[in-house]
Amino acid sequence: MRLQHAAAALIAAGCAFAANDAAAQGTLNLYCSVQVEWCQAIATNFQRDTGIRVNMTQRGSGESLAAIRAEGQNPRADVWFGGTGDPHLAAAEDNLTQAYESPNNSQLQPWALRQWEQSGRRAIGVYAGAVGFGYNTELLQRKGIEPPRCWSDLTDPRFRGEIQVANPNSSGTAYVIIATLVQLMGEDQAFEYMRRLHPNINSYARSGTGPIKAVARGETGVSLSFVHDAVTERNAGFPVSYTTPCEGTGYEIGSMSILRGARNLTQARRFYDWALTAPAQRLGFEAGGQLQTPSNRSAPLPPNAPDLSQIRLIEYDFAKYGRAAERRRLIERWDREVGSLP
């Protein structure tokens, strides 16, 4: 009896200890701009590994940037994880994020560190992925439509109302696509191209991952997407395939930043260091089926992930297209000349 009491007291003490321990580790407020399953896995695993409680909000890259801008020097989040690199660069330029050098930088790919240097050490690469065309193999076959192979194919009347892409105001993916076209064609020609493409677009979705999910469900034949997301849908059993544009294509350096004025700076740095490790980077594939190229050199490329070295990539000018004013100008021009078309 006495032993049982002692055991109960010990268990109670242990619980109190665990609770105190968690409280002592503190809290991290995380804005997350990758797929929600991946965001949740990151929050759960980091909390389990460190005892730090995570409050996570998932939003697209453009939406996260808008929230961070609105909060200004009184940010609600400590860290912004993932999403395309350009808005992270814009946030760095606008002094909304802060410099940090992680001891784990030495484990990263050169492109991840280039992003860090270009941003004044405020944004670092966590993954990379290329833009291409996702398509529903069954739907296109049924309609007798040849899949697109080149940007020039997309304006063909055979794709009338058959293509979906995201809206650059909310989606980082959509902005990468616009910046890619501008770099490939020249700015005026790119806008002329997007106006010609417009009749073939059935919807400008809010999120960059919306269009490929619509392809998977058979709601649209073709999407402009990151091609790793097409493989995720195929792995989930949907009749989805992809091609990368014959003229060349752009890519993202999915990034991470610590916010300026972060209230939980110790926890933010701990998260940042953790998120650069190979086991944390593997979570994208293990928990979310995500197939981006991880920035940690020891994190393996997931099976069947698109191999960036096999894709014709442009020399994407991240410094120029990540500039806040350039980003704003191109999105405003898109609103005026493309998004507002009937």
Contact positions vs ligand PLP (CB under 6 A):
33-35, 60-62, 82-84, 129, 166, 171-173, 207-209, 226, 229, 252, 254, 290, 292
Angle (CA) 153 155 160, round 5°:
110
What's the min distance (Å) between Cβ of 158 and ligand PLP? Answer: 27
Compare residues 54 and 305 and give the one whose CB is closer to ligand PLP. Answer: 305
Compare residues 213 and 270 and give the one whose CB is closer to ligand PLP. Answer: 213
What's the min distance (Å) between Cβ of 175 and ligand PLP? Answer: 8
Burial class (CB in 10 A: 0-12, 13-18, 19+), 142: exposed
Residue nearest to ligand PLP (CB): 208
Compare residues 33 and 241 and give the one whose CB is closer to ligand PLP. Answer: 33
What's the min distance (Å) between Cβ of 302 and ligand PLP? Answer: 12
Tell how many helices (H) and how many strands (E) occur in the chain.
Answer: 14, 11
Compare residues 171 and 180 and give the one whose CB is closer to ligand PLP. Answer: 171
Q: Cα(186)–Cα(136) distance, rounded to whole angstroms? A: 30
Compare residues 35 and 241 and give the one whose CB is closer to ligand PLP. Answer: 35
Using alpha carbons only, how large is the chain's radius of gyration in Å? 22
Q: Alpha-carbon torsion 293, 297, 303, 307, what sign?
A: positive
Compare residues 182 and 231 and give the one whose CB is closer to ligand PLP. Answer: 231
What's the min distance (Å) between Cβ of 145 and ligand PLP? Answer: 25
Query: What is the amino acid identity at position 184?
Result: L
Compare residues 245 and 254 and give the one whose CB is closer to ligand PLP. Answer: 254
Is-contact 75 57, C-beta < 8 A? no
End-to-end CA distance of the chain: 80
Total residue length of the chain: 342
What's the min distance (Å) between Cβ of 85 and ligand PLP? Answer: 8
CA distance readout (Å), 121 to 1, 3, 27, 314: 61, 57, 24, 24
Per-residue b or e along 112-140, where b marks 16 or more CB atoms closer than 10 Å to that residue's CB: bbbbbebbebbbbbbbbbbbbbbbbeebb
What's the min distance (Å) between Cβ of 270 and ligand PLP? Answer: 23
What's the min distance (Å) between Cβ of 128 and ligand PLP? Answer: 9
